[in-house]
Amino acid sequence: MSFLSSPSRTRGHPLQPLHREVLLGHPLRSSATRRAFARSWTRSTGWPTIPIRPVVIGDGGDFVSFAGEYHLARRPASSRSRALILPGRAISGVCRESLSATLSPVVHSIPEDDWVSAEAEALLDATPGLREDLRAAMDELHAGTLQTVDAATARARIEARIKSRGSS
Amino acid sequence: MPEHRRRLTWRDRALKELEDLADVMPAAALTAVEAMERMASTGFNYGRATSEPGVWYFPTGKIGIYYADDGTTLTVQAVVDARRLRELPY
């Protein structure tokens, strides 16, 4: 710090914005700034709302959609010097919501940041007949009359369809 | 070590819907198949419970999958093109 803040080395004190950018990098990388930010964060009325939407990269891999959901709970590999360390309460909150949604047979409310559940309900509302179709399918499943195919057959049929599409 | 792998089955109608989607987005259809196979092989239910009793939802990029889970078998009930919810920029 003494090196960076020395007037003789940086032509002025405190550091001018340009110097600070060059010498210290992003302001949030400074531990003092980070602590101050964290303090103001915890004193606010609630945790900041971060828009979490599916991140589609390339052609939409199946786990790509998880990136938007779980980045709060994961620390980047190089977090020690760069990333803001999130409070444990926020992280455990995310995990609790997921766990309760997994264990509870009935969803009573959708957490604000749970875009997966929101998307599921939105599709149910936006697709005509989907709810009724699912209810009928569940009834058939419980009655043992649902017509199903196994996973290998399903994969073979999809691959054959894609292949025939390419050849036609 | 206990065996957690679950059996995976597809409702015939859901598979036909996925075949239709494979005509317009083959990579996404194959991704949906692989995602459900992976979920069955790990034994963990990655999806979310929906307001429909017993029905779960799992998004696989462009395709959303509704399925049932009885603890031993995942049964895919319906597949939906999730892009219908997206707002176009024009």
Interface test with A, best of B5, B7, B10 (most A CBs within 10 A): B10
Interface test with A, best of B18, B31, B75, B77 (most A CBs within 10 A): B77
CA distance A158 to B9: 14
**CATH entry, B7-83, from 3.30.70.260, 3.40.50.20, 3.30.2310.20, 3.40.50.2000:** 3.30.2310.20
Q: How far is B41 from chain A (nearest CA, A)?
A: 11
| Residue-level pLDDT at A62 | 44
Beta carbon pairs, A and B, within 8 Å: 162
Interface predicted TM-score of the whole assembly (ipTM), two decimals: 0.90
Among A107, A153, A161, whose Cβ lies nearest the Cβ of B51? A107
Q: Is B2 helix (H, G, I), strand (E, B) or coil?
A: coil
Residue among A3, A106, A89 nearest A41 (CA): A89
The answer to whether residue B71 scores a pLDDT higher than 50 is yes
Per-domain boundaries in chain B: 7-83
| pLDDT per residue as tens digits for the range B24-67 | 999 999 999 999 999 999 999 989 999 999 999 999 989 999 99
pTM: 0.57
Q: Work out the burial of residue B88: count CB atoms within 10 Å of its CB; fewer than 13 is exposed, 13-18 middle, 19 or more buried.
A: exposed
- Using alpha carbons, list the distances in angstroms from residue A90 to A38, A106, A137, A147: 12, 24, 38, 44
The pLDDT of residue B69:
95
Q: Does B29 touch chain A if contact means CB atoms closer than 8 Å?
A: yes
pLDDT in tens, chain A (168 residues): 444 444 444 444 454 444 444 444 444 455 555 555 555 544 545 454 444 444 444 444 444 444 344 444 444 555 454 555 554 444 433 444 445 445 544 545 677 778 899 899 999 998 999 999 999 999 999 999 999 999 999 999 999 999 987 666
Which pLDDT value is given to residue B79?
96
Q: B28 with A54: CB under 8 angstroms?
A: no
pLDDT of residue A139: 96
B10 contacts on A by Cβ (under 8 Å): 148-151, 153-154
- Residues with Cβ within 8 Å of residue A39, at least 6 apart in sequence: none
Q: What is the mean pLDDT of residues B11-32?
A: 95
Beta pairing partners, A103: none
pLDDT on residue A30: 53
